[in-house]
Amino acid sequence: MQQFKCYVDGVFEEGSARFESLDPASGKVWAMMPRASASDVDRAVKAANRAFLSPEWADLNATRRGKLLARLADLIEEHSGQLAELETRDTGKIIRETSAQIAYVADYYRYYAGLADKIEGAHLPIDKPDMDVWLRREPVGVVAAIVPWNSQLFLAAVKLGPALAAGCTVVLKASEDGPAPLLKFAEIIHQAGFPAGVVNIVTGFGADCGQALTQHPDVHHIAFTGGPETARHIVRNSAENLATTSLELGGKSPFIVFDDADIESAANAQVSGIFAAAGQSCVAGSRLLIAKGIKDRFLARLKEKAEKITIGLPDDMGTEVGPLCTQRQLDHIRTIVGKSCEQGARLVTGGVALERPGFYYAPTILDCSEVPEAASVTNELFGPVLSVLSFETEEEALRLANGTAFGLAAGVFTQNLTRAHRMIRKLQAGVVWVNTYRAVSPIAAFGGYGLSGHGREGGLQAALDYTTTKTVWLRTSDEPIHDPFVMR
């Protein structure tokens, strides 16, 4: 059985306790993980704090930090096969997706490598003749980075890249579900040559490890990706250390297809939008809003495509949909689909867990046009389940699209340019895709409105979010200060 270790202060350690990790394709234990306790977390944060103040890191100039990030990117590419295999084994995400995503993860580090020495302060045109005033951009301090199980290497990259470029140090908490790829990634961080304590990687459960990390008095910023309920705990925890937060949360994203859309493209994008990663994607286009005039035709096409999907073992390159990550996730999906059918949703296809080992659920389409309040329409499932609603007018499409507390992403399929612009303006979502879906890039900011969180990942702004400013006042006059009670 494989054994994994935590990485604290440049040292690989067993952790004070261990827990079992299951292979989602078989449901069987395949590895043992280190379970970090509050005291392990305390050591990791203290190491990050020491490293933050150490000359090895604090005095390293930004260009050199960029070089370390570039080396990290090269090493990720070199080890991408191994990292992809581990992510597939421990989370069930199919190898086709993990291989492509990890290759792109290297590009995220490369983008922030280039950005490190372009994070600039400012000189202020101050309103006093004998003063020189400028803003220094300084790293915010120790960052607690917390990720969920899906796409852990990617979700870690969008935090570590900008945080390290800005000069912060990090304690990264991998999810208790499928932490293997991030624990392996610690070896690559070590090899890249970051000074001890600059990046620490632990895993463990929310209630002990996550709680201890987010309340720790030496943490200055919390970068969190996960569900809104956990985010509420984290924001409460941050009342202890008053750390700033960035929150990348869930979604119930609308995928809107107008009757003038290219039907084949829209259907393929919808299949990818909801069934890729077995629907365990924050941006899953999980609510199809379809124009009434093309509803039957579009649903027939989708059903045909959904039923042709190759379901199989995640490490098989031919597999298109693999298992869910956990039994808990499978149970959650079963419950919500069951409830929606009781409420009157019509099953177009799927709606069952598969009769095979592991945590598999069939690609599912639920027509909820008659029951827009169905549980599958209002709850994030994080699984391969599409809920369908229909509309007659553009206004109705917008009302349905924005009728959720979430606001992560939205997709619009139309050939009408003016309509596309109207929709872009009025959709309440942090990302709008027009005639495409699920595209991301290190250059483009990503994040949500409303219950989908705040703060942005990707792009220049993300690096600035890991900085604070120091205002420097320098008096240039040689005249003595005469009056102590009048400051100018």
Residues belonging to the active site: 248, 282
Q: Which is nearer to ligand NAD, 210 or 323 (CB)?
A: 210
CA-nearest of 217, 50, 213 to 144 is 213
Distance between CA 453 and CA 234 in Å, rounded? Answer: 12
Side chain identity, residue 388: V
Q: How far is the CB of 134 from ligand NAD (least distance, A)?
A: 35
Q: Which is nearer to ligand NAD, 6 or 234 (CB)?
A: 234
Structure tokens at 53: 């103040």
Side chain identity, residue 6: C
Q: Which is nearer to ligand NAD, 31 or 234 (CB)?
A: 234
Q: How far is the CB of 63 from ligand NAD (least distance, A)?
A: 30
State which of residues 233, 346, 356, 422 lies at the interface with ligand NAD (CB under 6 A).
233
Backbone φ and ψ for 335, nearest 5 degrees, come out as -65, -45
Per DSSP bridges, beta strands 131-139 and 11-13 are: unpaired
Contact string 188-207 vs ligand NAD (x = CB under 6 A): -----------------xx-
State which of residues 175, 200, 414, 428 lies at the interface with ligand NAD (CB under 6 A).
175
Which of these segments, 125-133, 227-235, 266-274, 471-479, binds ligand NAD (CB under 6 A)?
Answer: 227-235
Backbone φ and ψ for 62, nearest 5 degrees, come out as -60, -35
Residues contacting residue 51 through CB under 8 Å, at least 6 positions apart: 9, 57, 169, 195, 196, 197, 198
Distance between CA 410 and CA 396 in Å, rounded? Answer: 15
User: Residues in contact with ligand NAD, total (CB under 6 A)?
Assistant: 29
Q: Does 173 bind ligand NAD (CB under 6 A)?
A: yes
Contact yes or no for 457/428 (Cβ under 8 A): no
- 27-56 residues near ligand NAD, rule: CB under 6 A: none
Residue with tokens 């705040």: 454
Structure tokens at 78: 């070199």
Q: How far is the CB of 349 from ligand NAD (least distance, A)?
A: 24
Contact yes or no for 250/408 (Cβ under 8 A): yes
Contact string 254-293 vs ligand NAD (x = CB under 6 A): ----------------------------x-----------
CA-nearest of 381, 349, 143 to 280 is 381
Q: Does 97 bind ligand NAD (CB under 6 A)?
A: no
Residue with tokens 């379970």: 35
Q: How far is CA 196 from the centre of its chain?
A: 26
Distance between CA 39 and CA 211 in Å, rounded? Answer: 12
Q: Which is nearer to ligand NAD, 173 or 295 (CB)?
A: 173
Contact string 437-456 vs ligand NAD (x = CB under 6 A): -----------x--------
Q: Does 408 bind ligand NAD (CB under 6 A)?
A: yes
State which of residues 98, 230, 369, 467 lies at the interface with ligand NAD (CB under 6 A).
230
State which of residues 27, 114, 227, 459 lies at the interface with ligand NAD (CB under 6 A).
227
State which of residues 250, 314, 322, 450 lies at the interface with ligand NAD (CB under 6 A).
250
Distance between CA 353 and CA 348 in Å, rounded? Answer: 15
Distance between CA 423 and CA 251 in Å, rounded? Answer: 18
Contact yes or no for 372/400 (Cβ under 8 A): yes
State which of residues 150, 169, 387, 467 lies at the interface with ligand NAD (CB under 6 A).
150
State which of residues 380, 385, 386, 465 lies at the interface with ligand NAD (CB under 6 A).
380
Which of these segments, 31-39, 57-65, 228-236, 312-320, binds ligand NAD (CB under 6 A)?
Answer: 228-236
At CA 114, angle to CA 113 and CA 117, rounded to 5?
A: 95
Which of these segments, 71-79, 110-118, 141-149, 160-168, binds ligand NAD (CB under 6 A)?
Answer: 141-149
Give me the residues that bind ligand NAD (CB under 6 A), please. 146-150, 155, 173, 175-176, 205-206, 210-211, 214, 225-227, 230, 233-234, 248-251, 282, 380, 382, 408, 448
